[in-house]
Amino acid sequence: MIFALLFAASTASWALGTDAGTLITNTATLSFEIDGAAQPIVESASAITRVDERLDVATVSRDGGLVLISSPSRQGVLSFDVTNTGNGDEVFRLVVDTDVDEGGFDPELVQLYIESNGIPGLQSGNGGDLVYVGGTDDPLIGSDETIVVYVELNVPDSLPGADEGSVRLSAVAGTFVQALGVTHPDDTGFPVPGATFPGLGDRSVDVVVGLSHEPRASTVSAVGTLQVDGPIVSMHKTALAVSDGTGGSRVISGAEITYELAVQVVGTGSVGQLVLTDQLPPELAYVPGTLMLDGAELDDDFLPAGQDDAGFDHATDTVSVAIGSMAAGSGLRRVTFRAAVR
C-alpha cells in the first residue's frame, strides 16, 4: 500500500474497469393484477456475479522518439510509463533487455529508477528518484495508476554516426512470478489472454489474463531507443611491436616498444582542438625522433611555437600531438612513437 500511495501520481486516461471483487447484483420486480385487483409486487432473487481481476498492463515509451546522446556523456536515459490497465491492484516486476534490435548497438544497463520525488526527469542520489532492484522494489500499482520508470544506460564507444541502440522494458505481473516463477515475457509458459489463476486476485477472486498479453499485440513491453548524435571521440593505444636489440621481442631493459595511439571521431558533427597526449610511465623512456602522425615524421621540440604543436615534453614525460579539428566518420588518425624500457 505504501507503494500504491507513492506512485499514485499520474493521471491516466484509461477507462476504469469495475474493481475486482465487486459483486454485480441484478434484481427484477414484477407487478400484476388479477380481476382488476393489484397484487403484491414480486421481487426476484438476485442474480449475483463476481467480478474477477483482469490483469492488464500498458508499458509505453515516454520519449516520443529517439533519445539523442553525444560525447562525452556516453550515457543515456530512457523513460517509460507503466500503467496498470487491469481492474485490480498488482505488483509488477520490471525487466530490461538491452539486446533488442538487430544491428545497432547494445546499450549497457546501469540502473533502473522509479519516479518518486515529484520532479520530472531522472534525479539520482540523495533526494532523487527511487533506485529499483527487481524482486526487492517491485512496485504495487493500483488499478488505472501509472508509474514512471527511468532506464539509465551506458553507451559503448566506437559508434558510427546516427547508430541506434534500443532497450525493451517489460512489466511482468507479480501474479505470474508468484504462481509460475516466470519473470520475463519471453519465458516459456508466459501466460496468454484467458489464462486464469484461481484465488490470486484482489479479495481472493480469480485472476484472468487480459488482452494486453496477446503475444503479437502485447503492451507488456515497450521499446525505447538511443541514437548517437554529435561527435564521440574514441582512442585506443596499442603496442605494435617490441624490439629487444637481439632480433627478439622480449620486454627487457633496452628493448624498444612501438606504440600507436589511434583516434577516431564517431557519431555526427566534428570536434575541434583535438590533442592526443600520452604520459609515459617511469619504466619507459621516449626514443627521440620517433614521433609520427599518419606515417609522417614530427619533430620533438614544439617549435616554432604556435605553429608546431607536436613533440615530447620532458618535464612531464608526455607525448603530445595536436590534431586540430576532426570530423565524425573521417577515419582513424594514427600517432606512433617508440619508447625504451629503462
Partner 1 sequence: MTVKEIRMFRRFVQVLGLALLLVGGAAHAGVELATSVKKVVAVLDENGQVTRRLEAVESVVPEDVLLYTITFTNAGDETVDAGSIVITNPLPAETVYLEGTAAGSGTEITFSVDGGETFGKPETLEVQRDGTTQAAQAADYTTIRWIFEPALDPGQSGDVTFNVRLK
By CB under 8 A, tell whether 28 contacts partner 1. yes
Segment lying near partner 1 (by CB under 8 A), choices 149-157, 165-173, 206-214, 314-322: 206-214
Strand partners, 24: 49
Q: Which segment (20-28, 127-135, 236-244, 286-294) binds partner 1 by CB under 8 A?
A: 20-28
Candidates 1, 2, 11, 36: give the one binding partner 1 (CB under 8 A).
Answer: 36
Q: What's the CA angle centered on 247, arms 243 and 251, to 5 degrees?
A: 40
For 268, counting Cβ atoms within 10 Å of its Cβ (0-12 exposed, 13-18 middle, 19+ buried), the class is buried
Q: Is 107 in the site for partner 1 (CB under 8 A)?
A: no
Nearer to partner 1, 24 or 303 (CB): 24
Distance, CA of 214 to CA of 194 (rounded, Å): 10
Report how far residue 339's alpha carbon sits from residue 173's, in angstroms, rounded to the nearest whole number. Answer: 60
Give me the least distance between CB of 3 and partner 1, in Å please: 23
Q: Report which DSSP code applies to 16.
A: P
Q: Does 50 bind partner 1 (CB under 8 A)?
A: yes
| All three cell numbers of 202 | 484482489
Q: Can you spell out the DSSP letters for 109-144?
A: EEEEEE--SSSSS---STTSPEEE-TTTSPPEE-TT
Spatial separation of the C-alpha atoms in residues 55 and 208, rounded to whole Å: 6
Give how many residues touch partner 1 by CB under 8 A: 36
Comparing CB distances to partner 1, the nearer of 44 and 279 is 44
Q: How far is CA 183 from the centre of its chain?
A: 18
Interaction between residue 216 and partner 1 (CB under 8 A): no
User: Which residue type, as a one-letter code, is found at position 314?
Assistant: H
Asked if 296 touches partner 1 (CB under 8 A), the answer is no
Which of 210, 231, 267, 311 lies at the binding interface for partner 1 (CB under 8 A)?
210
In a 3-state reduction of DSSP, which class is residue 174? helix
The verdict on 330 binding partner 1 (CB under 8 A) reads no
Using rule CB under 8 A, residue 93 touches partner 1? no
Shortest distance, position 35 Cβ to partner 1, whole Å:
7
Binding segment toward partner 1, per CB under 8 A, in 48-56, 74-82, 173-181, 218-226: 48-56
Out of 1, 11, 13, 26, the only residue in the binding site for partner 1 (CB under 8 A) is 26
33 near partner 1, rule: CB under 8 A: yes
Q: Are 25 and 41 in contact (CB under 8 A)?
A: no
288-314 CB burial, b ≥16 within 10 A, e <16: eebbbbeeeebebebeeeeeeebbbee
Residue whose CB is less far from partner 1, 44 or 246: 44
Taking CB under 8 A as the criterion, the residue among 5, 9, 42, 303 binding partner 1 is 42
**Site of interaction with partner 1 (CB under 8 A):** 15-18, 22, 24-36, 39, 42-47, 49-54, 87, 205-206, 208, 210
